[in-house]
Amino acid sequence: MDVLTSPPVRAALALGFAALAFYCLLRGARGLAAGMRDSDHPDSSDRVIRGMRTLILAIGFSFFAGGAHFAIKWPLIFGLVFLGEELFETGIMLLALRLGKDADVAIKKPESKPVSSPGDEA
């Protein structure tokens, strides 16, 4: 366990988590902006939620980077709890949106009526 607490390893872990946080920040901002920009697109709400989820990952990874850099446990624990709770909530939100879209498609589907020819009167 002393290997993980040595300064070079802590610095490498912190740098890795910070790089992941920066990547997630850029990707999440891009996804959120795409969903907000094309608000008429049918998948815009999914894009916004996915962008928010990626921004939440950036916040969690930044807590991991701080915990690894300063060798303290509470940012790591807080980051895990924060990520678990927020990703669960946004997952439920995505599920509700997708189920709502499926229900809208099922409701809006036109019913097919049998085609009768003019001479088929009984």
Domains and CATH numbers, the chain: 7-103 (1.10.287)
Per-residue pLDDT of the chain (122 residues; tens, 9 = 90+): 577 778 899 999 999 999 999 999 999 999 999 999 988 888 888 899 999 999 999 999 999 999 999 989 999 999 999 999 999 999 999 898 888 877 766 666 666 666 666 666 55
Non-local (6+) Cβ contacts of 105 within 8 A are: none
Which of 97, 8, 87 has its CA nearest to residue 52?
87
Non-local (6+) Cβ contacts of 40 within 8 A are: none
Predicted model pTM? 0.76
How many helices and strands, by DSSP H and E, does the chain display? 3, 0
Q: Collapsing DSSP states into helix, strand and coil, what is residue 4? A: coil
What pLDDT score was predicted for residue 41? 84
